[in-house]
Amino acid sequence: MKVVLTGFRGTGKTSVGRILADRLALPFFDTDALIERRAGMPIPEIFLQHGEAHFRALEREVIASLRDVEGVISTGGGAVLDPANVADLRWRGTVYLLSAPPGVILERIAGSDRPGLTGLSPAEEVQTLLLARKEAYLGAADACIDTGRRTPGEVAEVILRAAGISAAERLERDHLLERFGLADLGEMVDRDPDLMVCAIAGNPCAHSKSPLLYNRLFAHFGMRYHYTRLEWPDAETIVRLASLLPTKGVSVTIPFKADVMRCLDEVDGHAAAIGAVNTVVRCGGRMYGYNTDWLGVRAPLAHRRGARAVVLGAGGAAAAAVYALLSLDMDVTVLARAPGAARRLAERSGCRWGGLDEFRGGDTDVVVHATPVGMEPDTRSLLAPGDLRAGTTVFDLVYTPPETPLIRAAKEAGCETIPGTEMFVHQAAEQFRLMTGILVTPALVREMLA
């Protein structure tokens, strides 16, 4: 058994860790103490003589040495900013993020000889670092516990109880799982209280490769996680079921990327600007929305910066594509079967718009297809070979089948083609980081999909 406690200074990691280790009859490992032992000097002296970079290198060595231990580990909040540390801490372990309000943290660390990291006043530093680290903290943790009004003993008790849901909530959960055709999932969760759940949410989503990819990645990183499908006609019911399960993350697909936003506690700036969420991270009973689709579009097109681009479609995927292309300084036009929808997206983004019949291949360097047309079993393409010119880059965001009718037409026309699997690979790598705190390479994602 491996239990990991992380969080900002003053959140009680060491005190809680010692209590847990005693109650569980497990050894206790404090990474700060191990760093001091390895360096032969206290942490303030390490910072004074060698700087933060040296401290982080020692921290990395210590955490790597704890990868396979059984015990309770207390580690600093800065440690989980390094995805390699997160991978080692998560290996066959459960990670708890301990948090507290900034004012409480300030009171608890007052008088500490630990040097500051920013040159700001203590109050400003706490606020600044908590905000900067928030995304990494949420991703690295399996559960989040507020220690502000709890004693270390009470926090330890919360962890030991592994607080679940009430009897009434369990009945509701089981009823919903039955309706979703997932009755076995409730049994899995009940059998293994440490099991965490992630899922793809959409209607339909049976075609998604996410369960295959994520379950292989979870096994690769030694995580007690299970990825499933939540297919249902409305986002609200899906979010409710997710709140009744030990859910850590949800991948959101058609048609819920906009609808799900009103069900969340917080939405990050990129997702808000795009108007769509494709990634939900849950921790401490709160749900946070992000968008990784735009990064999945941006990465494969980075070599076409400044090009003239056309986006086909006006939904959530199209909005992410427009956002990505504008970040690459492209001249963007939105074309859709419903010109009104194209106009709304274009006006919000500050680009041109029109109907699909206005597509002119000779005036276009990059085409991004962002509609479901061509997704199995659909065999249509919005464009024919004659609509395109050689040298144009055609990126089809549909990834099932791997070679869509549009990609075949583009190849016939002599275009550079980018299949939707590339968008899926890049957005999935970022999504996995948001949900788990672990950085995976596109090459590893491709390997897991093979």
C-beta neighbour count of 329 within 10 angstroms: 10
Q: Is 257 a catalytic residue?
A: yes
Average pLDDT over residues 346-354: 95
Catalytic residue among 2, 13, 248, 257: 257
Is the pLDDT at 285 greater than 70, yes or no?
yes
Instruction: Give 352's pLDDT tier (boundaries 50, 70, 90).
Output: very high
Segments of 15-150 assigned E as strands: 28-30, 71-74, 94-99, 143-146
Length of the chain: 450
238-272 burial, b at 16+ Cβ within 10 Å, e below that, comes to bbebbebbbbbbbbbbbbbbbbbbebbeebbebbe
Please say whether the beta carbons of 393 and 416 come within 8 A. yes
Question: What does the alpha-carbon distance between residue 95 and residue 97 come to, in Å, rounded to a whole number?
Answer: 7
C-beta neighbour count of 308 within 10 angstroms: 14
Please, where in the chain does CATH 3.40.50.10860 lie? 167-291+427-449
Please, where in the chain does CATH 3.40.50.720 lie? 297-418
- 372 burial type by CB count under 10 A (0-12 exposed, 13-18 middle, 19+ buried): middle
Q: What is the pLDDT of residues 360-402, one digit of tens each?
A: 999 999 999 999 899 888 889 999 999 999 999 999 999 888 8
Least confident of 25-29, 114-118, 320-324: 114-118
Query: Which pLDDT does position 164 carry in this prediction?
Result: 76
Average pLDDT over residues 62-89: 98
Please, where in the chain does CATH 3.40.50.300 lie? 2-161
Is the pLDDT at 109 greater than 70, yes or no?
yes
Q: Going by CATH, does the domain composed of 2-161 fall within 3.40.50.300?
A: yes
3-state secondary structure at position 335? strand
Instruction: Please name which of 192, 249, 146 lies closest in space to residue 1, comparing C-alpha atoms.
Output: 192
279-283 and 308-312 strand pairing:
unpaired
Q: What is the pLDDT of residues 214-245, one digit of tens each?
A: 999 999 999 999 999 999 999 999 999 999 99
CATH topology of domain 167-291+427-449: Rossmann fold (3.40.50)
Average pLDDT over residues 84-89: 98
Average pLDDT over residues 314-322: 93
C-beta neighbour count of 9 within 10 angstroms: 17
Least confident of 20-29, 85-94, 349-358, 373-382: 373-382
Whether this prediction's pTM lies above 0.85 is answered by: yes
Question: What does the alpha-carbon distance between residue 209 and residue 82 come to, in Å, rounded to a whole number?
Answer: 28
Q: What is the pLDDT of residues 40-52, one digit of tens each?
A: 999 999 999 999 9
Least confident of 135-149, 151-165, 246-260, 327-341: 151-165
Query: Which pLDDT does position 163 carry in this prediction?
Result: 62
In CATH, the architecture of 297-418 is: 3-Layer(aba) Sandwich (3.40)
**Spatial CB neighbours of 443, under 8 Å, sequence gap ≥ 6:** none
3-state secondary structure at position 359? coil
